[in-house]
Every structure is written in C-alpha cells, then in structure tokens.
C-alpha cells in the first residue's frame, strides 16, 4: 500500500515523498506542499479505514471532523505541531500537520547503563518541567495523549543555540491516540494493538479502558526514571504483592525528594498518583526555588538539602511546605549546609500542619468530583487557629458562587441542546467555571453539539452550492449565513461568502446594463424585467430603482400610444357613414363603442 502512494498528489497540493511508518490508527508520511514556491515539508496522516460501509464511513467522518477541531486547539501551543488541514479523498481521511525537524528523545537516553550518559538530577527536573508544561495545556483542553514515550518527544532543531540542549525545546507529537478526559469506561486496549515502543510506558488502567489524565504522568515518570537509571521500563521489576515498580537501587544515587516525586508519578493505582500535571509542576519548581542560590540541582551526587521518607512510627512528624501529597516527608539538614538548612527549616515550622492542609486538599477533590456538601463540610472542619483557615473560608464562598454559575450554565446548555441550538450550547459551556464535575457533564453536550454543527454545515453547504449553480447567489448567501461560526468549515464559508457576494454584484451590474440596452431600443418590458432581478443589497440597487420607475412610466406611455394608434387604425377602416365609432379614453384604459349621430 505504501509504495503506491509515494509520489501521489493529494488535494492537488500535498505530494507524498516518504513514508514515516504505520501505527494502530493509520499510516504517516512526509509530503511537500506544492502550492508554495519553496515546497515546505509537512506530515500527512492517512487515517485507517476498516470498512467501506456507508454507515461506518459516516460515523468515521463525523468523528474525524470532531477530532480535528481538538487538534486545531492543541496546535496553538508552541510545543505541539501546528494543524494545517484535513480533508477526505476517495473515502480516505487525511490530516496535515507541521513537520518538526529534530531528533527523538530516544537519542539522548542512556541504554543499559553502558551506552550514553546517565542524566543528572538537574537535567531530569528540567526535562519534567518542560514536558509537564505541555501536558498541563493538553489536559486543560479536555484531552489525554495516551502515548507518551521517547519516540513522541522531538528535540526541535530550530531552537538550537550553540550546543546547549537546555535551550532546545521538546515538542510532543503523534496525537493519534488521544481520548477525551471523561472517557470513563471504554474498550480494553488489546496488547496486540500496542506498538512495541509503547510497552512499559503505558499505565495499567489504560489496558482496561480507564485512561486518566495522570496516565500521561505515569508514562512521563517512566521516561525520567529511564534517564536516571539507564534501564528501560520493561527491565524494571515490580513488587509481586503491591505491583509497585522497584527502580531505585544502590547504583542509582538520587535525592530522596526527587525520588519521592518520581515514585508518586508511577504509582500502580492511578488514584495514588499525582492527579494533575500542574501539581507535579508546582512541586518541581519549588525544588528549584528552595535550592537557590546553592543550585543544588547541579550534577553533584547529593542535594545540600536532603529530604527523607519519614518513619511512620515517628511521634513528631514534621511536615514539608511543598505539597500535602508528600505524606510522611520531613526535612533534614545537611551538615555542610547549615545556613541553607535553617532557612528552609523556618519555612517548614511556620507551615500548616499536614492534616489541615490535607483536609483542604481532600475538600477540593470532593468539590471537583461533584460532592459540594462534603467539600464544604471538610473545609468547615478546619479550626480557626489554623494557618489555612482563611483560605478555607474564602474557598467555601467561592465554591458556592461558582457552583451556582456552573449549574445554571449547564441547564442553559441542556435546554439549547434539546432545542437544537448548537451554537448556544457551546456559548453556555464556555461559561462553566473550572469544576471537573460540571465540565465533564457539559463536555458531553459540547461534543454532540459539534457533531450536529458539522452535519448542519454539510447540509447548508450543499444547498448553497446547489443555488449557486443556478446563479441564485442571494439564496446561496442566505444558506451560508446560517452556518454556525463554530463549524470547522469556517474558512471555507468565509471564502464562499466573499465569492458569491462578488458574483451577485457582478450579476446585478450585468442586469442593469442589459436593462439600459433594452430601454435604448424601446423595449421597456424587457428592461423592467431585468431591473426587477437586481437584489436589494447590491451596489447598483438604488440606481436600478430609479431606472425602474422611469422605465415603468415610459412603458405605460408606450402602451397608451400603442392603443391609441390601434384605435385610429380601427376607425380608419370604418366607413364614414357608419353609425358607430371606437373611442379610446386615455388614462382610463378601455375601449368603448359610441353613437356618433
């Protein structure tokens, strides 16, 4: 199949020049855009079609249009390939995206602790911060990537400044496996459908169709561990009882704090992991902030600031400032960094007790998952002497306001959906506050609204095209103006609006010129017909109305003159001694026999 398409010109524009490989969802190629003089390269993905049945193709077509809308949004991020176009040709679906010049992350990772250099802790943290920033954006768009692996992270060549790798950004590619965040219960992921390069990075829940946003975090954590240890995920062993992965050994000198972050990222149960990319980002950035100006993330064997896992039997647990997720952590002071240590220690002692911070954190989780009353009850349980009490009280008030707004907007979206007002569904959904419970409910309406918008768009476009072929551009424009602005065909609609309006103006001017010509030879009947075909909202309409009045009057005069002449002809044929004559009453417009004696 691949060799048949090499050299082929798609859409009369994209010429396939090279195959990049096949995946579960289709084939990927490099193409050149022949519409531009410099023939820039791009990536063309041919979506896999497993049936030619019309119902299947219709369903796939709607899904394709919906998913490309998501890819357009994702492509607005500077570290995600830009969306260029999508189209259907010969019952095949194609996606065109920006080609990222660079090399995959696989070329930078150590192999088996023998090939390549193990990464320093600083390099790992910088890598995590870079990619987590991308994932935070991706998840904010309601999307899970589902295939985070070294091959899908490209070190972009265009960012090169000298040989400093840190200045070259990573770009996340291949969104062919994306799922909505509210995917929930779905089809299981068979092992035979998974590319070999993805094995080890895919978390357990993804195999049973329960993919979560932090499934991407799991995969990213496995890459970071590979960078530190030189071991690929499938080389790591797991605890037979807990299924947790053993990755840290005596040969892996890594700071306890960073180790705890990585272990939290790859927990077997997704509920025990970090719940969002933003949480991990905040903690990692805090490491950098707390360690300046000592810059403990250099390639030293140990951080000056040591963080150890607390003994659960300790009677006086000391809580860290970083995050309630670090249950049981305490800060120890390095002997060679007393000043830095005391500075951090003072921050720790003024921080709220872990139980109170955890209570507020748990309240926020309840709020996001939809239990407002439980969330408020937990927040209210925080005592007034706690440092987090003011935040808890402010949060309660904010929750109550946002919840009311969310419920109202969701109801508005539901009513609009049932009344088939698809654009209003999207407008209401955009006003729903950042509450996962309400957003997930509204997102289902939004997805269906987008599908219906595309169906409506195709119907209106077909009607517009039909009227345009009949040169009825006014009606064609009316159909185009009914197409919702949220449609994926927005650019096409704008082009057709401009085209049909231009053609209508030309046709109106043509009718006016034809009217002039007919009037010049006295054919006012035809002239009036041409003028009455000129639409109201055209540039020559006012001039046409003036001529229409003028030619209508001349039409009447001419008609009157023709009737008078006709009467004269009739009377001239009547003998002079006849008892009757025909008279024409001008202005009354009827003929009558009269007695002339």
489 CB-side CA count, 13 A: 22
The answer to whether 265 and 217 have CB atoms below 8 angstroms apart is yes
Three-class DSSP category at 448: helix
Per-state percent for the chain, helix, strand, coil, to nearest 5: 50, 15, 35
Residue in 247, 283, 285, 291 with CA at minimum distance from that of residue 268: 247
The answer to whether 139 and 178 have CB atoms below 8 angstroms apart is no
From residue 227, alpha-carbon distances to 106, 115, 300 in Å are: 10, 12, 16
Three-class DSSP category at 429: helix
Number of residues in the chain: 597
Distance separating alpha carbons of residues 122 and 294, to the nearest angstrom: 13
Distance separating alpha carbons of residues 512 and 227, to the nearest angstrom: 76
> Contacts for 341-348 with beta carbons within 8 Å, 24 or more apart?
341/304, 341/305, 344/290, 344/305, 347/290, 347/321, 348/318, 348/319, 348/320, 348/321
Which pair of structure tokens corresponds to residue 145?
A: 């990537």
Distance separating alpha carbons of residues 278 and 275, to the nearest angstrom: 9
Which pair of structure tokens corresponds to residue 527?
A: 């002239």
Q: Which residues are annotated binding-site positions for ATP?
A: 45
Contacts of 496 (CB under 8 A, 6+ apart): 461, 464, 476, 480
| 378 phi/psi in degrees, rounded to 5 | -65, -45
> Please, what sign has the CA dihedral across residues 127, 200, 19, 83?
negative
Peptide bond into 534 cis (omega under 30): no
In the chain, what's the furthest Cα-to-Cα distance? 145
Contacts of 534 (CB under 8 A, 6+ apart): 508, 511, 512, 540, 541, 544
Which pair of structure tokens corresponds to residue 273?
A: 């992991």
Distance separating alpha carbons of residues 560 and 386, to the nearest angstrom: 101
Query: Does the annotation mark 147 as catalytic?
Result: yes
The answer to whether 357 and 383 have CB atoms below 8 angstroms apart is no
User: Which of these is catalytic: 33, 35, 130, 147?
Assistant: 147
Three-class DSSP category at 590: strand
Pairing of strands 92-98, 41-47: antiparallel
Tokens 């002339």 belong to residue? 596
Q: Which residues are annotated binding-site positions?
A: 45
Residue in 130, 186, 158 with CA at minimum distance from that of residue 41: 158
The answer to whether 361 and 276 have CB atoms below 8 angstroms apart is no
List residues bridging with 34 in a β-sheet.
none
Tokens 């019952």 belong to residue? 91
Distance separating alpha carbons of residues 255 and 249, to the nearest angstrom: 12
Active site residues: 147
């Amino acid at each position: 199949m691949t060799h048949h398409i090499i050299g082929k010109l798609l859409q009369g524009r994209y010429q396939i020049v090279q195959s990049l490989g096949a995946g579960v969802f289709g084939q990927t190629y490099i193409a050149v855009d022949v519409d531009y003089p410099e023939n820039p390269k791009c990536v063309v993905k041919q979506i896999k079609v497993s049936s030619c049945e019309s119902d299947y193709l219709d369903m796939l077509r709607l899904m394709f249009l919906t998913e490309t809308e998501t890819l357009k949004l994702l492509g607005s991020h500077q570290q995600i390939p830009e969306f260029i176009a999508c189209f259907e040709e010969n019952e095949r679906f194609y996606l065109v995206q920006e080609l990222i010049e660079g090399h995959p992350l696989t070329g930078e990772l150590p192999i088996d602790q023998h090939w390549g250099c193990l990464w320093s802790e600083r390099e790992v943290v910088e890598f995590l911060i870079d990619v987590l920033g991308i994932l935070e954006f991706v998840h904010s768009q309601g999307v899970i990537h589902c295939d985070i692996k070294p091959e899908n992270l490209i070190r972009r060549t265009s960012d090169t400044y000298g040989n400093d790798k840190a200045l070259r950004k990573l770009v996340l590619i291949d969104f062919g496996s994306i799922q909505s965040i509210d995917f929930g219960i779905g089809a299981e992921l068979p092992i035979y459908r998974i590319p070999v390069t993805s094995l080890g990075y895919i978390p357990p829940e993804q195999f049973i169709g329960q993919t979560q946003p932090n499934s991407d975090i799991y995969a990213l954590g496995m890459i970071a561990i590979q960078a530190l240890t030189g071991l690929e995920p499938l080389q790591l062993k797991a605890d037979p009882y807990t299924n947790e992965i053993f990755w840290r050994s005596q040969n892996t000198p890594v700071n306890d704090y960073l180790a705890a972050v990585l272990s939290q990222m790859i927990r077997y149960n997704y509920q025990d992991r970090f719940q969002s990319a933003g949480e991990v980002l905040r903690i990692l950035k805090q490491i950098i902030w707390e360690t300046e100006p000592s810059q403990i993330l250099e390639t030293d064997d140990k951080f000056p600031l040591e963080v150890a896992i607390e003994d659960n039997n300790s009677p006086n647990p000391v809580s860290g400032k970083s995050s309630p997720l670090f249950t049981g952590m305490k800060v120890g002071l390095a002997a060679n960094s007393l000043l830095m240590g005391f500075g951090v220690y003072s921050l720790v002692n003024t921080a709220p007790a872990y139980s109170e911070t955890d209570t507020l954190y748990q309240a926020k989780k309840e709020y996001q998952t939809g239990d407002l009353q439980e969330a408020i009850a937990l927040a209210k349980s925080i005592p007034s002497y706690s440092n987090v009490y003011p935040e808890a009280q402010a949060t309660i008030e904010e929750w109550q306001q946002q919840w009311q707004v969310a419920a109202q907007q969701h109801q508005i979206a539901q009513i609009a959906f049932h009344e088939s007002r698809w654009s209003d569904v999207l407008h209401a959904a955009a006003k729903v506050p950042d509450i996962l419970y309400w957003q997930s409910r509204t997102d289902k309406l939004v997805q269906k609204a987008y599908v219906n918008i595309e169906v409506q768009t195709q119907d209106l476009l077909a009607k517009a095209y039909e009227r345009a072929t009949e040169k009825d551009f006014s009606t064609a424009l009316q159909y185009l103006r009914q197409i919702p602005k949220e449609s994926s065909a927005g650019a096409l609609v704008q082009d057709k609006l401009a085209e049909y309006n231009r053609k209508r103006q030309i046709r109106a001017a043509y009718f006016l010129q034809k009217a002039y010509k007919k009037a010049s030879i006295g054919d006012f009947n035809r002239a009036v017909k041409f003028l009455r075909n000129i639409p109201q909202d055209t540039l020559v309409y006012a001039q046409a109305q003036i001529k229409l009045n003028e030619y209508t009057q001349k039409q009447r005069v001419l008609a009157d003159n023709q009737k008078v002449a006709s009467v004269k002809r009739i009377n001239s044929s009547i003998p002079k001694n006849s008892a009757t004559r025909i008279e024409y009453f001008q202005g009354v417009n009827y003929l009558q026999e009269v007695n002339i004696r």
